[in-house]
Amino acid sequence: MGRRGVREEIVEAALEQFHAQGYNAAGVKVITDAAGVPKGSFYNHFDSKEALAVVALERYGARRHLQELVAGDGEPLARLRAHFESLRDAVVGAQFTRGCLVGNFGAEIADHSPVIREAVREGLAQWTDAVAGALTEARDGGALRAGLDPRATAGFLVNAWEGSLIRARADRSAEAFDSFFTLVFDALLPVADPQPA
């Protein structure tokens, strides 16, 4: 169990099991077994699996390095591309499994749990805020195509990414990511149109 304490072991194991298995497939016993703690200890720390899922989502969000999008070095669209490239690399490294915990919970369980739906909504909103920050900076620097609203565009990009993850997992292929980068960074966002084919 190490030195992290039972609660911390449960949170880390839940993050791993929810991401790998999904919400319903990762039962409390699956999580406590993975944490190496007695099942009976679970309810000393969490009122429910649902409450644990909210903590896991918050922790997942905190590890996305969103601050680098808003205040990192380099041109904002280059930072944005690097952000999505790092997300892509993680999925490729996981052999096109797992996807995004926020999107997975959104698809599987948000309809059925108001507290998880709210945590998914908040996770997507924080991510969208960070992307919108980079797009606003690009717009103010004259690097964003005229007429694009940074916030609506940011929401669309985050949504498009979540769907691209579903496709990449179904195909076990990076083709969906390639299309995302081409359509978003060559066609949708830049000021100048690409050369006609």
> In whole angstroms, what is the distance from residue 61 CA to residue 87 CA?
13
Closer residue to its own copies, CB minimum distance, 133 or 155: 155
> In whole angstroms, what is the distance from residue 99 CA to residue 8 CA?
23
75: left (phi over 0), alpha (psi -120 to 50) or beta: beta
| CA angle, residues 44, 27, 35, in degrees to nearest 5 | 60
Taking CB under 8 A as the binding criterion, the range among 6-14, 53-61, 74-82, 140-148 that sits at the site for its own copies is 140-148
Closer residue to its own copies, CB minimum distance, 37 or 100: 100
Q: Which residues contact 188 (CB under 8 A, 6 or more apart)?
A: 145, 148, 153
One of 110, 130, 131, 134 touching its own copies (CB under 8 A): 110
- Min dist CB 57 to its own copies, Å, is 11
- Min dist CB 167 to its own copies, Å, is 5
Taking CB under 8 A as the binding criterion, the range among 53-61, 66-74, 80-88, 170-178 that sits at the site for its own copies is 170-178
Handedness of CA 154, 129, 87, 35 (dihedral sign): negative
How many chain residues interact with its own copies (CB under 8 A)? 59
Taking CB under 8 A as the criterion, which residues in 35-94 touch its own copies?
none
Handedness of CA 170, 173, 179, 185 (dihedral sign): positive
Footprint on this chain of its own copies (rule: CB under 8 A): 20-22, 24-25, 97-99, 103-104, 106-112, 117, 120-121, 124, 145-149, 152-153, 155-156, 158-167, 169-172, 175-176, 178-180, 182-183, 186-188, 193-197
